[in-house]
Amino acid sequence: MAPLDGIRVLELCHFLAGPYAGLVLADLGADVLKVEDPSHPDDARSMGPHFQGDQSLYFLALNSGKRSIGVRLATAEGRAIVEDLVRTADVVIDNYRPGVLAKFGLGHDALHQVNPAIVTCSLSGFGETGPDALRAGYDYTIQALAGVMSLAGEPDSPPTKAGISYVDHSGGVAAALGVCAALVERARTGVGSHVDLALFDVQVSMLTYLASWQRNRGAEFARTANSAHPSLVPAQNFRTADGHLALFVGNDGMWRRLAGALGDPELAAERYATREGRLRARDDVIARVQTVLLGATSREWESRLGAVGVACGTVNDVAAALAEPQTAARSLVVQNEHAAYGHYEHVRGPLPTLARDAIGPAPTLGEHTDDALRSLGYPDDRVAELRVAGIVS
């Protein structure tokens, strides 16, 4: 059994952060039912440029392992269906702007009236309080506002975003953590609580030591060449005979092992033996290490340096990362098959050793509507009436 087996989650989410939270919960065993309004389904369903049949691979990547029900939320009958679902659910997650679901009568207070044990979690750009509560917030803009873009890129280049939507992904993981914490609290009290998850909060929290340096010592930060660490040397990207190698020497013992493996006797000099000494002589250390590393390929250095316990890694592209033996060993890539759109591959959640053995394919819109309604006790003729009336799809 996976840790969240038996937990029922209603997901009213779109695009990335919310669906990724649902994916994490589904991978950990929860039964995640994605609730979409057929008039305004998850925009990720039409996100290009790559499709599997008529299904967006962007959507499939974020919604595997879930079920789907189509319900028109703007109708009284549709809201009643959602309330019936809430009565038998444990969790409701959404990533609408604060106040949107309340306009449909599906805000957190209303849902708690329906089911006092329900755990609700809302992901938004800036949370439900403060001057920016209603401000639109996306991964790009929050990377900028949280100070992260100012740190990325070469010194003479403009500020640079991260290569993936890490604000959305880390926000989704934090939301899943918040849900799990709220479920633990409910086990103590019997009453559900609300998780107000702000993507901005998560990113400011991740400033950790940089925030401490700034607030306590007035530190100022500048972009560094080759993604170099501000105080550890050598800890950056280096060119090799065929690409780049990320090298991170975190302590003096590792430096001694690196110096021996590189074979340059000058690097064994006493002036480089300590972290402080290498920082003072940064330019000289970097130049000497760079000269040696150009003499072999990234993989050759990875093997040679890894053998003596030096932290390093080839700078992979996405295809090479997915082909890493460690990726296979940890079962991070899943193969799936759906009758409507065929075979596809995707990565699973971030906790594979806790995850369920198999995760199903992403659902088509409304694929599980009939099953979900029947599980609530709706007779077949009532389900048919709701379909004819356009309340469900």
Distance of CA 91 to CAs 72, 105, 191, Å?
20, 17, 12
Residue 309 CB partners (closer than 8 Å, separation 6+): 254, 257
Answer for the pair 121, 197: CB distance below 8 angstroms, yes or no. Answer: yes
Answer for the pair 65, 2: CB distance below 8 angstroms, yes or no. Answer: no
Count of alpha carbons within 13 angstroms of residue 197, beta-carbon side:
30
Burial class of residue 329 (count of CB atoms within 10 Å of its CB; 0-12, 13-18, 19+): exposed
Catalytic choice (31, 42, 94, 168)? 168
Residue 235 CB partners (closer than 8 Å, separation 6+): 228, 229, 247, 248, 249, 250
What secondary structure letter does DSSP report for 270? G
With CA atoms as reference, report the closest residue to 123 among 29, 25, 212.
25
Could you count the other beta carbons within 10 Å of the beta carbon of residue 170? 18
Task: Confirm whether 94 is a catalytic residue.
Answer: no
Compute the distance between CA of residue 39 and CA of residue 22 in angstroms, rounded to an integer: 22
Going by their DSSP bridges, the two strands 194-198 and 235-239 should be labelled as unpaired
Compute the distance between CA of residue 92 and CA of residue 241 in angstroms, rounded to an integer: 52
Q: Could you give the angle at the alpha carbon of 42 between the alpha carbons of 40 and 48, nearest 5°?
A: 115
Compute the distance between CA of residue 229 and CA of residue 56 in angstroms, rounded to an integer: 38
**Would you state the structure tokens that stand for residue 105, as one six-digit string?**
């009568």
Burial class of residue 367 (count of CB atoms within 10 Å of its CB; 0-12, 13-18, 19+): buried
**Which residues are marked as active site?**
168
